[in-house]
Amino acid sequence: MKPTRLLYHVLLTVCILSFVTSVSAGDDLTSMEEIVVTGTKIEKKIENLTDSVTVITADEIEKNNFTDFTEILRSTPGVEFKQAGGPGQFNYPKLRGFSQGHFLVVIDGVKVNEAMSGGVSNLLGQIDPQIIEKIEILRGPQAAIYGSNTTAGVIVITTKKGTKRPEIKVGGEAGSLDWRKDYASVRGSSDKLRYSLYAGDTDSGGVHEYEYFKDFSSNLNLGYKFSDSFNIDGSFMYTDSEFNYAELRESYADDSPSTPWWSFQLPDPNSLSASDYYNGSIKMQHKITDSLKQTLTLGYYKHKKKGLDEDDGYLGSVIAPVDNFTLDWVNYYNKGDIVPVYDKGDGKPYYYRNENYLADYNFIWDWELGPDTLNTFLLGTEFQKQEGKKWGKYGEIEKDLNNYSFYLNDQVLMLNGDLVFSFGVRNDHHEEFGNQVTGKAGISYTFQAAGTTLYGDYGTSFKAPTFSNLYDPKYGNKHLDPEKGKTYEFGVRQSLLQKRLNLESAYWHTKLNDAIAFVYGINPDPAIIGMYDNRDAARSQGVEASLSFNLTDSLTFRGNYTYTDAKSEKDGETFRTVQIARNKFNLDLAYDINNLHLNIHGYYSGPRLRWKGDKEMDSYFRTDVAARAGITENWVVYARAENIFNENIVEGLGYEQPGVYAVAGLEWKF
C-alpha cells in the first residue's frame, strides 16, 4: 500500500471516530474493571503479572458481533494471520514472529496442539465465537507451567459456563458470500447445578465459485457444587467443519513479476478439507482449608481430518504475462499466449487423526509470610499421551508418545502487592527425548503514587519435534533434537486519570537454537528432495504497545501497535522470517449507551514476504464497523461490516479475499 493511500484510509477512519466521539455522552468517568487471569494456574490480578497478557471477555465478543475467531485474535498485540480465502478456509496464525507449534492452545484446561504437526490445523478459524467465555493470551515462554510448544506464548480459551439467572437465546444471521447461521443456547443454574448448552449451524459460500464453508458447533458445560469445599465442572465441545477451496497455481518463470501474475486461483469443483474436533474436560476442585486447595483436570482432545482433491481436468486459462512463462516446467509460453490450467488433483484422499489424553494435578498453598506479604505456591504433576496417525496420499505414520511432568510455581506479593516476585521450574520427561528442564523468573514493582508498574522476566522453553518431523516416511529425521529457546522481556504499565487511561509497553527478545526446518538437498536418498533438520537458530524481537482510555461512561478508545523483527540464521547468514509483518496496529472506538453499542475498528498490516521468501506482499489498512441494539426487552438486532472501504487485501500471495464483507443478525433473549 502506498503511504499516501494508507494516510487517506487512516484519516478517513479517524474522521469517523471523531464523528462518533461527538455523540453526546455522560460526564461521569469509570475506572477500569479488575481483571483476574486464570490461565497461569495460580489466579493472578493482571496488575500483579510479571509478563504481558491480554484478556478478551464474552461481552466484548458479543458487542462486536464477531463471526470469525480469527478476527478476535487479530485485534490483539503480537498476533497476526495468513487467512487464505473466505470464511473457514485455511488459517495460519502467528504469535510474536513464530508460527504454529511455537505457541500452545488450551481449551478448558486441555492442550489441543497436535502431535503430527505441532499446531492446531485450521481450528482457530473454525471455533464458533458464541461458545467463548474468555480468551487469555499469555505472551512469552510459559514452559514452566505448560511444557512444550510455548516459546511464543499460550492462548487459553474458556467456554461459557452456566449463569445464576436462566437465559435462553435464539438467533439467525445472513450476509455476504451467502453467509447463513442459526444458533440457540440455554444457560442457567438450579440449586447446586450450573449448566450451559449451545448449538450453531453455519453455511457459507466463498470468494470463488464452488467454494463453501459448512460448520456445526456445539458446546455443553455442566458444574455441580457438592459442598462449599468441593465442586466438579465438565465441558464438551464438538465442531464438524468442512470447506471446498479454489485451486492455487504459481508461475516458476525466473522473470515472472509479482502479484497478480505470480500466483492466482481458479475455481475447483472438488477440493475438500473436512474436520471433526472433539474436546472434553472434567475439572475437580477441592478446598482443603482456607489456605490449601487441590485441582485435578482430566482432558481429551481428538481431531479427525480428511482431504480430497478430485481430478476435474481443465479448470480454465490465464494469459501469459511474460515470455518463458510456465506452470509445470514442461510447457513454456510467450507473453500474451493463452495458458490452459488443469487440476492438480489426483483423486487420492489423505487422512489424519490426532488424539491427546491429559491428567493434570495441582496443589496450591497460600500463606502469609508477614503482615503485608502473601506467598502462593503451586506444585503440579501432569501426564499427557499423544497419538498421531496419517494414511492415504501422503504416506503412513502411526505413533504414540508419553510425557510425564513435574512442576512448581511460586508468587510472592510483598509491600501489599506493590512488589511481586514470580518463579517457576518444570521437568518434562519426554519418551523420545528424555528430561527437558525449563524455568522462568519475573519481578514487578508498582509505584502507587505515579500509577506506574515496571516488570521483567526471563524464561526458557523447548519444542519437541513433531511426528511428521521425526517419522515421515520420506522427509522424517529420527535424529532431530528439540528446539531450545531463551526469552527476556521488559515492560511498563501506566495508569492515569484514576485508572481511566491505561497504557502498556513491552520489549521482548527470543533466541531459538536448533530450529527445525525442511532443508533441501540433504536427504541420503537422491530421489527425495530434502528432509527435516535442526537449522542454526531463529530469533524474534520487538515491541508491543497498547492503550485503553475510558473517555466517558459511554465512550472507550483502544489501540495497540506491534513491531516484530523475526529472522532465521543459517551458516552465518540471516534471513527475514516469511509471512510476518514488521509493523501492525489496531485502532478501536466503542460507544455504549443503554441498549446501543457502536464500534469502529481500523487494522493495519505492513508488508510481509510470501512463503518462499522471494516476493513481498503489499501492506493494507482495513476498516470494520459493528452495531448492536436492543429494540425491545427481548429482541436484539446487530450487524458487522468488514473492510468497508474495499481495500485490496493480500494475506497470502494469490489467495483472493472477500472485499467488503457484511453480516446482519436478529436475536431473541428470554
Average pLDDT over residues 122-134: 96
User: What is the Cα Rg of the chain in Å?
Assistant: 25
Which residues make Cβ contacts (< 8 Å) with residue 66, sequence separation at least 6? 72, 129, 640
pLDDT at 370: 81
DSSP character at residue 260: T
Mean pLDDT over the full length of the chain: 91
Tell me the residue type at 85: G
User: How far is it, in rounded angstroms, from Cα 568 to Cα 492?
Assistant: 29
Torsion of CA 185, 188, 193, 199, to 10 degrees: 0
Cβ(123)–Cβ(114) below 8 Å: no
Q: Residue 12: what pLDDT?
A: 44
- Beta strands per DSSP E along 166-262: 167-175, 179-190, 193-205, 212-227, 230-244, 247-250
Cis-peptide, bond into residue 260, ω within 30° of zero = yes
Backbone angles phi, psi at 369, to 5 degrees: -85, -15
Which residues are bridge partners to 168 per DSSP?
Answer: 186
Strands (E), 267-344: 271-287, 292-309, 314-319, 325-326, 332-333, 338-342
Is the pLDDT assigned to residue 32 strictly greater than 60?
no
The arithmetic mean of pLDDT across residues 448-464, rounded, is: 96
Q: Is the pLDDT of residue 372 over 90?
A: no
Per-residue pLDDT tens over the stretch 285-303: 999 999 999 999 999 999 9
Q: What percent of the chain has pLDDT over 90?
A: 79
Cβ pair 56, 70 in contact under 8 A: no
Higher pLDDT among residues 45 and 585, named by residue: 585
> What's the Cα-to-Cα distance from 169 to each of 76, 130, 431, rounded to whole Å?
28, 11, 47
pLDDT tens, position by position, 86-123:
899 999 999 999 999 999 999 999 999 999 999 999 99
Kindly report the pTM of this predicted structure. Answer: 0.93
The arithmetic mean of pLDDT across residues 17-31, rounded, is 34
Taking 3-state DSSP, the helix, strand and coil percentages for the chain, each rounded to the nearest 5, stand at 10, 60, 35
pLDDT at 362 over 90: yes
Task: Say if residue 622's pLDDT is above 50.
Answer: yes
Give the C-alpha separation, 443 to 646, whole Å. Answer: 46
Query: What does the pLDDT read at residue 250?
Result: 84
pLDDT of residue 664: 98
Give kind and range of the element (H or E) at residue 470.
helix 467-471
Mapping DSSP to helix (H, G, I), strand (E, B) and coil, where does residue 579 land? Answer: coil
pLDDT of residue 325: 86
For residues 50 and 520, the model is more confident at: 50
Q: How high is the pLDDT of residue 1?
A: 56
What structural domains does the chain harbor?
Answer: 3-310+345-669 (2.40.170.20), 317-344 (no CATH)
> How confident is the model at residue 16, as a pLDDT?
41
Q: What is the mean pLDDT of residues 546-571?
A: 94
Residue 21 is predicted with a pLDDT of: 35
Q: 13: pLDDT confidence band, cut at 50, 70 and 90?
A: very low
pLDDT, tens digit, 9 for 90 and up, residues 157-212: 999 999 999 999 999 999 999 999 999 999 999 889 999 999 999 999 999 999 99
**Region 334-361 average pLDDT:** 96
The number of C-alpha atoms within 13 Å of 619 and in the hemisphere containing its C-beta is 19
Whole-number pLDDT of residue 382: 98
Residue 67 binned pLDDT confidence (cut-offs 50, 70, 90):
very high
Per-residue pLDDT reduced to its tens digit, 68-86:
999 999 999 999 999 888 8
- pLDDT band, residue 256 (cuts 50/70/90): low
Read off the pLDDT of each residue in 353-381 and give the average, rounded to a whole number: 94
Residue 524 has pLDDT above 90, yes or no: no
Residue 29 binned pLDDT confidence (cut-offs 50, 70, 90): very low
**635-652 mean pLDDT:** 95
Predicted pLDDT of residue 25:
32
